[in-house]
Amino acid sequence: MTSSPQSPDPARPLDASRDAQPMDAGREAQSTEASHQDPPVDASHPAHPTPLVHTAAALRALPRRAGARAVVMTMGALHEGHATLVRAARRRVGPQGQVVVTVFVNPLQFGAGEDLDRYPRTLDADVELAVAAGADAVFAPSVDEVYPGGEPQIRIAAGPMGTLLEGASRPGHFDGVLTVVAKLLHLSAPDLALYGQKDAQQLAVITRMAADLNFPVEIIGVPTVREEDGLALSSRNRYLSVPERSTALALSAALFAARDRLAAEEALRARAASVGHAAQHRSAALAALGEDRAAADAHAVAYAAAGPPHGPSVARAAARAVLADAARLDPPLTLDYLALVDPSDFTEVPDAYEGEAILAVAAKVGTTRLIDNIRLVFGAGRPQATAAHQDGTTTQDSGTTRGSGTTQGPTTDAAAATPAASPAPAPSAAPASTSTPASTAPATPPTTPQGPLGATR
């Protein structure tokens, strides 16, 4: 389990006098994180050594504060993404609240041949990071403490959502995740629990469990933290060699290419809506005059005006082009899946889909398996603020929004796009044929295949 949906505002202090309500599983975490900046912990929060407890009895013995209690669940090997979750929890509960960080490498969610034995254990450093980020307690139980008597005979089943994508690649994984999350929620008894959006499917199944089984806890998603080159922070990144890390950048590059191609597609459709079918006549007239570049632009607008929305197919194609090029690198990227899914149930969305979706990718580089995702919005009602570059992620160092403007491992804000995450070029139109009748819509959309890191191929 990693700390990888959903609260209207994780930065808003929780009113401890009300009952926290689980969020609907179909709704994305509306984690504003205000300006996506992480200020120092409030000076009114008392500075003291964070209690490190190893048993459920010791955790229960911790005095509850007057405010709410938040829990951040991790498997250790903490990094800036986890620190972001802890800081978000501290801001949410305020100085009178309490933040508990759990550190437990859960054997139930590791399948045969996975990296349970080599998963990094760095408890001393984890406690230090948790303290600096604002935690009041770190709960680091043993396997015997969490599962007395051995593996539990009764587990929580993730249902149909748990068999898709990560669940298909790692059978039983989400059953193990939900079982330990349920146990840790019972043991820590929080008012709210924070998870990173990098593990989007995990976040969705936890949210669904809390809602379906009436857990009295609010589930909050915190955006993905990225390094300056675009790679999503993960405890597994340390396994990558320098060449492998270079190849691994294709995951985020593929997602950013899809985002930017979608933005270009929707900008084109907005232009088409303003000019209508007049663009078809303009394209033919410009082509007759030899104005090929202007004619190509008018041709693209005419195509967008005449055809149905096809944003999902455009996004998929842009991402697949980047991943296909990465498969030819040395070392190569081995794709597990690329999926554009409905956040409510993680089923693949059709090409005519409108609304919010998650573009998720999983791949291996060498022996290291990595995942990443980005949230996209298709069709009518798309907020202007999401039309260009923002993907709901944050970078480790800058704390500024990624991109220029519209649009657990854990996660937070994105800096200006780096070469690995540079916006993909807008689609270029194929030259218009002078033989195309003015009254006929262009037959094929313009395309610009993308290279390994979003560059035009």
Domain assignments of the chain as residue spans, ordered by start: 52-222, 242-421
pLDDT over 90 percentage in the chain: 54
The pLDDT confidence band at residue 49, using thresholds 50, 70 and 90, is low
Token pair for residue 173?
């994984």
Average pLDDT value for residue range 152-167: 95
Report pLDDT for 266: 78
**27 contacts 356 by C-beta, under 8 angstroms:** no
Among 21-30, 43-52, 104-113, 126-135, the range with the most confident prediction by mean pLDDT is 126-135
The pLDDT confidence band at residue 429, using thresholds 50, 70 and 90, is very low
12 against 407, higher pLDDT = 12
Least-confidence region, from 44-58, 145-159, 349-363, 384-398 = 384-398
Q: Give Cβ neighbours of residue 261 (< 8 Å, ≥ 6 apart).
A: 314, 315, 317, 318, 424, 427, 450
Least-confidence region, from 48-52, 240-244, 307-311, 438-442 = 438-442
10 against 218, higher pLDDT = 218
pLDDT digits (tens, 9 = 90+) for 170-187: 999 999 999 999 999 999
pTM of model > 0.85: no
- In the numeric block, the tokens 């994105």 are attached to 414
The pLDDT confidence band at residue 68, using thresholds 50, 70 and 90, is very high
Report pLDDT for 116: 78
Q: Is the pLDDT of residue 44 over 90?
A: no
Detail the DSSP E strand segments found in 320-413: 333-341, 355-365, 368-378, 393-395
Report pLDDT for 165: 97
Average pLDDT value for residue range 356-375: 97
Whole-number Å distance between alpha carbons of 354 and 181 = 33
Q: Is the pLDDT of residue 438 over 80?
A: no
CATH superfamily of this structure's domain 52-222: HUPs (3.40.50.620)
Q: What is the mean pLDDT of the chain?
A: 75
Residues comprising the chain, all counted: 457
Whole-number Å distance between alpha carbons of 121 and 103 = 9
Average pLDDT value for residue range 403-421: 34
Q: Is the pLDDT of residue 240 over 80?
A: yes
Report pLDDT for 271: 63
Q: Is the pLDDT of residue 360 over 80?
A: yes
Whole-number Å distance between alpha carbons of 191 and 177 = 20
> Which residues make up each annotated binding site for beta-alanine?
109
The pLDDT confidence band at residue 96, using thresholds 50, 70 and 90, is very high
Least-confidence region, from 15-24, 147-156, 290-299, 371-380 = 15-24
Average pLDDT value for residue range 71-99: 96
Q: Point out which residues pair with 372 in neighbouring strands.
A: 361
Give how far Cα 354 sits from Cα of 163, 309, 310, Å.
Answer: 24, 9, 10
233 against 12, higher pLDDT = 233
Report pLDDT for 194: 98
Among 2-6, 26-30, 161-165, 296-300, the range with the most confident prediction by mean pLDDT is 161-165
Report pLDDT for 343: 95
> Which residues make up each annotated binding site for ATP?
75-82, 196-199, 225, 233-236
> Which residues make up each annotated binding site?
75-82, 109, 196-199, 202, 225, 233-236
> Which residues make up each annotated binding site for (R)-pantoate?
109, 202
Report pLDDT for 393: 54
**73 contacts 102 by C-beta, under 8 angstroms:** yes
Report pLDDT for 114: 72
**254 contacts 361 by C-beta, under 8 angstroms:** yes
Token pair for residue 67?
């405010």
The pLDDT confidence band at residue 112, using thresholds 50, 70 and 90, is confident
CATH superfamily of this structure's domain 242-421: Pantoate-beta-alanine ligase, C-terminal domain (3.30.1300.10)
89 against 398, higher pLDDT = 89
Report pLDDT for 117: 77
Report pLDDT for 402: 37
292-296 — which CB contacts under 8 Å span 24+ positions? 292/431, 295/431, 295/432, 296/428, 296/429, 296/430, 296/431, 296/432, 296/446
Report pLDDT for 84: 97
Average pLDDT value for residue range 73-86: 95
Average pLDDT value for residue range 336-350: 96
Q: Is the pLDDT of residue 56 over 90?
A: yes
Report pLDDT for 303: 52
**Which residues are annotated as catalytic?**
82
Q: Is the pLDDT of residue 355 over 90?
A: yes
